[in-house]
């Protein structure tokens, strides 16, 4: 399903037919709920149960198979006894649709200490699944970078299409005068800190399995108090540095600086060989988040927002907001070590 327009009665009818075929039932009901910016989610009411029905956006310029990645990841985790994620029920690969367990829960606004421990424990369990049967068949996580050199290439790959958006004059000035020179400085400093390790690929045994978009923005608290982690569209093999840095840097979470550092410290104990690399590469991931914040200016991402139902006025306001956040993130990235970063984090 690649249309970028709002759902029509005909498209809803088509989705109902897909859901009925997948479940082998008739007369299902679809109720639209708030989804992510890359998908639409419906409450699927079948004769004997309620499910989540998810349709995924796919743009011609993006080859990532989000539906298959998420469904395979959840199937692997459930097969290994992991219940802190939704159970996968059925998928229609050709339609980019899938059915999952319906999670009756609430969003986590500001996580408690116990909830932080649940998040850390989930990441530790994922790492222990690395040697389980079937793990070798899982894909690399989205934009996984296993060396400093690969991360530099990733940053340049993200910068190039932004530089082409010259019709946005304020964006163009920010990229030319602020982001580009700061990026060169940070990358050079990180290379100096790591020496030859900067170009050396991280050994497979030092990698981990990661949601790659992990945090409380993608979590629900069940009525019984248990935590469920959602949206594994980017799941796969990853560098633990990226996992930890993304949790600390993600601008969509209301997590206190102290709790971010608590998560980083606890997770680094699972990966003790990662500390020096984390210190060196953290500012580079800050640069990456600067550019992620600016995705709102890119055609493919604009198409996703429209697919998810955003109006043009909301998109324009969001572009202004994201450019402001990118400026803040860049300033912090230029001079922040990971464990000082929390004290100065004002991007949320």
Domains of the chain (ranges, CATH numbers): 9-102 (3.30.200.20), 107-344 (3.90.1200.10)
pLDDT at 63: 65
Rounded Cα–Cα distance for residues 124 and 271 (Å):
10
Other CB atoms within a 10 A radius of the CB of residue 278 amount to: 23
pLDDT at 312: 85
Rounded Cα–Cα distance for residues 193 and 209 (Å):
26
Q: How does pLDDT run along the chain (348 residues), one tens digit per residue? A: 333 345 666 688 999 999 999 999 988 999 988 655 567 899 999 999 999 999 987 766 566 789 999 999 999 999 999 999 999 999 998 889 999 999 999 999 889 999 999 999 999 999 999 999 999 999 999 999 999 999 999 999 999 999 999 999 999 999 999 999 999 999 999 999 999 999 999 999 999 999 999 999 999 999 888 999 999 999 999 999 999 999 999 988 888 888 998 899 999 999 988 889 999 999 999 999 999 999 999 988 888 777 777 788 888 899 999 999 999 999 988 876 665 554 444 333
Rounded Cα–Cα distance for residues 212 and 190 (Å):
22
Helices (H), the chain: 9-23, 66-79, 113-128, 148-163, 169-174, 180-194, 240-249, 257-270, 275-293, 299-307, 312-335, 338-344
Return the structure tokens found at 307. Answer: 């697919």
Contact between residue 213 and residue 233 where contact means Cβ atoms under 8 Å apart: yes
């Amino acid at each position: 399903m690649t249309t970028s327009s709002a759902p029509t009665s005909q498209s809803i009818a088509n989705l109902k037919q897909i859901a009925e075929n997948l479940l082998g039932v008739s007369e299902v009901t679809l109720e639209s709920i708030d989804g992510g910016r890359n998908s639409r989610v419906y409450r699927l009411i079948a004769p004997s149960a309620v499910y989540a029905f998810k349709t995924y956006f796919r743009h011609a310029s993006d080859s990532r198979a989000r539906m298959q990645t998420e469904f395979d990841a959840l199937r692997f985790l459930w097969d290994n006894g992991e219940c802190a994620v939704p159970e996968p029920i059925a998928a229609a690969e050709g339609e980019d649709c899938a059915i999952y367990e319906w999670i009756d829960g609430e969003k986590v606004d500001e996580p408690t200490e116990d909830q932080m421990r649940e998040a850390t424990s989930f990441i530790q369990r994922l790492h222990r699944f690395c040697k389980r049967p079937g793990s070798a068949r899982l894909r690399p996580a989205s934009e996984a970078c296993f060396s400093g050199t690969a991360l530099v290439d990733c940053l340049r790959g993200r910068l190039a299409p932004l530089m082409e958006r010259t019709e946005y004059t304020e964006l163009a000035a920010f990229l030319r005068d602020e982001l580009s020179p700061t990026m060169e400085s940070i990358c050079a400093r990180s290379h100096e800190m790591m020496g030859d390790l900067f170009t050396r690929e991280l050994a497979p045994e030092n990698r981990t399995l990661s949601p790659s978009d992990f945090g409380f923005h993608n979590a629900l608290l069940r009525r019984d108090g248990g935590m469920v982690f959602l949206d594994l569209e980017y799941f796969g093999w990853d560098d633990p540095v990226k996992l930890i840095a993304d949790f600390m840097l993600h601008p969509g979470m209301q997590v206190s600086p102290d709790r971010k550092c608590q998560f980083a410290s606890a997770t680094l104990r699972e990966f003790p060989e990662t500390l020096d690399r984390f210190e060196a590469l953290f500012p580079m991931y800050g640069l990456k988040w600067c550019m992620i914040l600016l995705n709102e200016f890119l055609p493919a991402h604009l198409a996703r927002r429209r697919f998810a139902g955003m109006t043009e006025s909301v998109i324009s306001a969001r572009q202004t907001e994201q450019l402001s956040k990118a400026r803040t993130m860049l300033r912090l990235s230029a001079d922040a070590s990971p464990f000082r970063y929390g004290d100065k984090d004002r991007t949320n």
